[in-house]
Amino acid sequence: MILNNKTYIRHTNKPEWGLGKVTQVLNPEKFSAFFENRGYKVLIYSPNYIQIETGIESHPLLDNIDIAKAKVSPHHTTLKQLVDTFLKIFPEGFSDKKYYDNEREYKLKAAKKLNSKLSKDKFEKLLNEKEFAAITKLCRSIASQTNLIFPNEMMGLKDALASPANQEMFAKSLFDLLYGTQNLKPRFMHFAKVLTSIKADKWTIQTYFLYLSDPEKYLFMKPLITQKAAKICNFELHYDSKLNWQTYNSLLKFGIYFKTELSKFGENLTPKDMIDVQSFFWSIANKDAYQK
């Protein structure tokens, strides 16, 4: 057998399973794999029906499967099933008026406010004038414009930003996160370090402003919802309540996969940005709330 745990495959007798990736070679004849549309399977190798896919260097879903959970999952939820769930809530997909009114419009308004009031030039001007209190006041105003950050976390942020020293650290590190020239990882971790030091280290606060500053690229992390969406898909989020880069980087990969794959279901299911992706996660993880 010429397979290893980096091999991408297709089962030619089961084309509906889609692309798969070998997870373990169990013996010279048997191996396990995870398929996009079938989940975890143990198979006997035969070149007659196991087709090796060359030219694929990485895959955002198959490279991040939680195999331990996938093995014990009685059923694998396919992307098609998730789309069907979403369409039961919003029949016109991302073009649905109810979707726009309930899930998208208020987030767009908050993003517009952030990019207007705290554009790079305006933010930098406020920093140069040492208007740290004004910056943090604007941030709290932008945060209160949506329901994405829990009220108790909002109160915690307000308390954390009561002192001038904390206001300065927060403002400078947030500017660096949004507009710095380094790669995202060090900027992300610097902001996380500041939030931890002022006792405001919540995933919602860590990701909220980044998400709104550039919804084309960045995702918002609401821990319970995101973990539930990842569990449905057997995706390994590497979640830790402590702010860290690995978890957020995994979330971005998860989001990129959905942004790409949802677009294959037609124009009404093509995400305009990560606001749509995050809203899709929320909807599939909270389907019962809509169906009551």
**Average pLDDT in the chain:** 94
- Span between the terminal Cα atoms of the chain, in Å: 51
- Sheet with strand 39-44: strands edge to edge: 39-44, 30-35, 20-25, 8-11, 50-53
Mean pLDDT of 63-90: 87
Q: Is the confidence at residue 212, as pLDDT, over 90?
A: yes
Residue 234 sits in the same domain as residue 281: yes
Residue 36 sits in the same domain as residue 160: no
Tens-place pLDDT, residues 17-40: 999 999 999 998 999 999 998 999
Residue 25 sits in the same domain as residue 102: no
Predicted pLDDT at 219:
98
The secondary structure of 121-167 as a DSSP string is HHHHHHHHTT-HHHHHHHHHHHHTTSSSS-HHHHHHHHHHTSSHHHH
Predicted pLDDT at 73:
72
Among 72-76, 108-112, 279-283, the minimum mean pLDDT is found in 72-76
Predicted pLDDT at 66:
87
Asked, for residue 72, whether it belongs to a domain, the answer is: no
Q: Is the confidence at residue 292, as pLDDT, over 60?
A: no
Residue 262 sits in the same domain as residue 194: yes
Asked, for residue 2, whether it belongs to a domain, the answer is: no
pTM above 0.85, yes or no: yes
Residue 115 sits in the same domain as residue 171: yes
Predicted pLDDT at 263:
95
The secondary structure of 234-272 as a DSSP string is TB-----SS--HHHHHHHHHHHHHHHHHHGGG-GGGS-S
Predicted pLDDT at 112:
97
**Integer Cα distance of 4 and 291 in angstroms:** 44
Predicted pLDDT at 99:
96
Q: Is the confidence at residue 291, as pLDDT, over 60?
A: no
Tens-place pLDDT, residues 140-153: 999 999 999 999 99
* Number of structural domains found in the chain: 2
**Integer Cα distance of 103 and 107 in angstroms:** 7
Domain CATH for 16: 2.30.30
Residue 23 sits in the same domain as residue 114: no
Asked, for residue 70, whether it belongs to a domain, the answer is: no
Residue 113 sits in the same domain as residue 52: no
Predicted pLDDT at 60:
87
Predicted pLDDT at 9:
95
Nearest-Å Rg of the Cα atoms of the chain is 22
Our CA angle for 38, 42, 45, nearest 5°, is 110
Q: What is the number of alpha carbons within 13 Å of residue 95 lying toward its C-beta?
A: 7
Predicted pLDDT at 286:
82
Q: Is the confidence at residue 290, as pLDDT, over 60?
A: no
Predicted pLDDT at 1:
64
Mean pLDDT of 200-218: 98
Residue 105 sits in the same domain as residue 153: yes
Predicted pLDDT at 2:
84
Predicted pLDDT at 289:
60
Mean pLDDT of 172-181: 98
Residue 227 sits in the same domain as residue 121: yes
Asked, for residue 189, whether it belongs to a domain, the answer is: yes
Strand, helix or coil for residue 205: helix
Q: Is the confidence at residue 118, as pLDDT, over 60?
A: yes
Asked, for residue 1, whether it belongs to a domain, the answer is: no
Residue 248 sits in the same domain as residue 160: yes
Tens-place pLDDT, residues 261-285: 999 999 999 999 999 999 999 998 8
Residue 187 sits in the same domain as residue 215: yes
Mean pLDDT of 174-186: 98
**137-155 core/surface letters (b: 16 or more CB in 10 A; e: else):** ebbeebbebeebbeeebbe
Residue 96 sits in the same domain as residue 30: no
Token readout for 181 is: 């020239």
Domain with 241, as residue range(s), is: 77-292
